[in-house]
Structures are given as structure tokens and as C-alpha cells.
Amino acid sequence: MIEPEKAQAHGRWSAAMSHFILVTLHLYAAILFVGAVFFEMLVLEGIRKPVGHETMRTVETAIGKRARRLMPFVILALYGAGIGMAWGYREELAHPFASSFATLLAIKIALALSVLGHFITALTLGARGKLRSRQVRFIHVSVFCHVVLIVFLAKAMFFLTW
Ligand code: HEM
């Protein structure tokens, strides 16, 4: 028979291991996702003028095609691992105003859900042929601001207390 202390230690070890796996997966997916958003806003927008309208359209179409193939997996890993980790914080999240950590994590999750909402809106408008370049620009700027805040909150929640 396994001693109770050993069983307890084993339980703690496997919980820590699954958290480690989830946080690592979440971080790689976040790097890919946030990296793509930063690249779009800070690099691609900056080459629009020198590259010219026609070439830029070709580049954007090719990037869009690639992103539509890759991003569903990245989003699945990002949100799946996020939900898995949030489950471990379910007691804190049940009382989002009871601690600074719970408040910041709840805001981070709300912002992440809003990012998903942006995607669904863009896909729906695109499918209906109603996605104009003004809306694309607005969605890009808004998602950029969201991810800047999400990454800040993801780290601040472990450091800021009140
Ligand atoms: C746009 C979507 C998201 C981005 C860019 C993002 C980004 C991040 C980053 C950069 C971290 C810090 C990882 C580290 O410790 O180095 C983090 C942590 C975390 N995220 Fe997300 N995240 C997103 C969505 C979500 C969602 C949807 C959930 C839950 C429903 C979630 C739950 C968490 C939790 C619980 C942690 C803390 C992990 C820990 O204990 O260290 N995230 N996130």
C-alpha cells in the first residue's frame, strides 16, 4: 500500500506537471498569436507605402491564406490551455473581487474572450462579403490593444497587489 504522504506528494507533483505543460503550451501559442498581431501592426503597416498597393495586396492575400490554415490550431492551443489553467483557479475566479489576482485574471480572460469575439465578427463579415478595409483596420488596432493589455495583465496579476 502507498503511504498517504507519498500519495499526497505524488498528487502535488502531477498537478504541478500538468500546470507546467499547460503554461508552456499557452506561452508558445501566445508567442505565435501575439507575434503575428505585432508583426501585422508594426512591420506590415510600415512597408505599405514603399511596397506599393498591388504588391501589398498580393502579400496580404498570401499571409491571410497562411494565417487561416495555421491560426485555428494556435487559437485552439491558446484557449484550450488557458481554460485548463483557469480551471485550477476556479475558486479564485468564483470571487473575482476578493483578491487583486482574481480581479486581474478575470479582466485578462474577459479581454481574451473579446479577442475571440473580434475574430468571429471578422469571419462572419468576411463570409457575408461585408468586411471593408475600414473595419479591417479597426479590428487590427483593437486586437493589438487587447493583446498588449492581456500580456501586461498575465504578468501583473502575479506582481501587483492591493
Ligand atoms: C488572446 C488570448 C490570450 C493570450 C495572448 C494569453 C497570454 C498569456 C500569457 C503571456 C500568460 C503568461 C504565461 C507565463 O506565465 O509566462 C498567460 C497566463 C495565463 N492565462 Fe492566458 N492568454 C490568453 C487567453 C487566455 C484564456 C482564454 C484563459 C482562460 C480562460 C487564460 C488563462 C490564463 C491563466 C490562468 C494564466 C496564468 C498561468 C499561471 O498560473 O502561470 N488565458 N496568458
DSSP state, residue 121: H
Q: pTM above the 0.95 mark?
A: no
CA dist 115 and 85 (Å) reads 18
Entry field: residues in the chain:
162
Angle at 24 between CA 19 and CA 27, to 5 degrees: 120
* Cα-to-centroid distance, 69 and ligand 1 (Å): 23
The total number of structural domains in the chain stands at 1
* Cα-to-centroid distance, 130 and ligand 1 (Å): 32
Q: What percent of the chain lies above the pLDDT cut of 70?
A: 99
- Sequence-ordered list of residues with C-beta below 8 angstroms from that of 130, at least 6 positions apart, any chain: none
Of residues 6 and 28, the one with the higher pLDDT is 28
pLDDT single digits (tens) 148-160: 999 999 999 999 9
pLDDT of residue 1: 63
Neighbours of 3 (CB within 10 A): 8
Q: Ligand 1 pocket test: pick from 20, 25, 85, 93 the residue with the most ligand atoms within 8 Å of its Cβ.
A: 85
Of residues 3 and 84, the one with the higher pLDDT is 84
Kindly report which listed range (35-39, 49-53, 112-116, 149-153) carries the lowest average pLDDT score.
Answer: 49-53
Residue pair 125/135 in contact (Cβ under 8 Å)? The answer is yes
The pLDDT confidence band at residue 67, using thresholds 50, 70 and 90, is: very high
45: containing domain: 4-159
Within 6 A (CB) of ligand 1 lie: 23, 26-27, 30, 33-34, 78-79, 82-83, 85-86, 89, 105, 109, 112, 115, 147, 150-151, 154
Among residues 82, 42, 44, the alpha carbon closest in space to that of 66 is found at: 44
The pLDDT confidence band at residue 124, using thresholds 50, 70 and 90, is: very high
Radius of gyration over alpha carbons of the chain, in Å?
20
Q: Residue 93: what residue type?
A: L
* Cα-to-centroid distance, 89 and ligand 1 (Å): 12
pLDDT of residue 133: 85
Among residues 60, 67, 59, the alpha carbon closest in space to that of 32 is found at: 67
Read off the pLDDT of each residue in 13-36 and give the average, rounded to a whole number.
96
Nearest CA to ligand 1 atom 2: 112
* Cα-to-centroid distance, 6 and ligand 1 (Å): 31
pLDDT of residue 66: 95
Average pLDDT, whole number, for the chain?
Answer: 94
